[in-house]
Structures are given as C-alpha cells and as structure tokens.
Structure 1
C-alpha cells in the first residue's frame, strides 16, 4: 500500500466569541507545530505563545513535535481562567460534609 501524498488535518482554536477552524493538506511527517504555523492561526491570533499554550489532538495533550496522522484535529488551548477545584468549591458555597 502506497503512502499518502498529503495528510488532511484541521487546526482549531476556540474563543468565547468565535472559533478558528482551518482544514489543511500537509506532507506526511508533518508535526503539530508545522500544522499550526501553516494554518495562519499565529498571524490571526498573535497572543498565542506556543511556548505557553498547550496543544493537543482530539482533546489529548500532545507536544509540538508530535507527528500528525490523517484526519487529526490539532487544538490550541487557552490558559485556564480559574483553578477548576477552586471554582467547584465556590459553586458549592463552602458547604461542609454532611454528618
């Protein structure tokens, strides 16, 4: 079976008011970082710092040098606004355990 000549992948970045989603065809062996750079996301959203923002594929954290497979969706994650455990405690209203 012959290797594909290109990989069809997507790059996405979600904001509260909008989402960036771009379909790409990249050469086999392309990495997460190459997909992000090729998508134009960093030009459209210069606030993204790949040294700080986490990335993943279909909700699973990956490194920038991860080699892509056909149909992968590369995701760039925004930093958390609040610690999830602390937010849960606030929603619970500081209620103690029931006895």
Structure 2
C-alpha cells in the first residue's frame, strides 16, 4: 500500500474560508490534490488555468509534488495593484 500523506487545501473569498483536509498517496501533484479535495464544487469560481496556487504562501506550479502536512493554497486575483495603492496612500499623506 502506498504511503498516504495528510494535506490541506485552502481557498478564501472575502466572505468565507474553505479548508479541506485529505489524505493523498505519495506522488500526488498539487493539481491532483485540488481536484481530489472537491473544493471546486464548493466554490464554482475556481479556475486552475487562471488562479495561481502555492504551499504555505510560496507560489508553486500544479505539477509540484505534495509533501506531508502541506497546506495547498489557491489564490484569488488581486483587486488592486499593491504598488499603485501605496502611491495613492503616500500622495494623501501630509508632507512633513
């Protein structure tokens, strides 16, 4: 019997967080784990062709092999460009 790895798949919207704990066989990829989790049925907006993924905050590809205790994260697109948002905040700050 193949070794089973305990992992978690996570996705968050502005209103709710989704976590799926599951056991997958060694040699499973991130893409396979996401599909096996069934999270796409709970959140229809997930599109693995466009949503980046990662493990513990570090971007990874869908063909990366999972390891025991990994938390696979599916990221949403950014609403605002962080650099532009910082420029706007800096422009509103009074000059000293």
- Report the TM-score, using the length of structure 2 for normalisation: 0.91
Over aligned residue pairs, what C-alpha RMSD do you find?
1.9
In structure 2, stretches of 5+ residues that fail to align are: none
In structure 1, stretches of 5+ residues that fail to align are: none
Number of aligned residue pairs: 96
Selected match of 1:6 from 4, 7, 17? 4
Cross-structure match for 1:49: 47
Counterpart CA distance in 2 for 1:23 and 1:55 is 17
- Report the TM-score, using the length of structure 1 for normalisation: 0.88
Moved over 2 A (4+): none
2:21 counterpart SS class: strand
Note the alpha carbon deviations across 1:36-64, whole angstroms, 9 max, x for none: 11111111112111010000000000000
Note the alpha carbon deviations across 1:61-96, whole angstroms, 9 max, x for none: 00000000100000000000010000011111266x
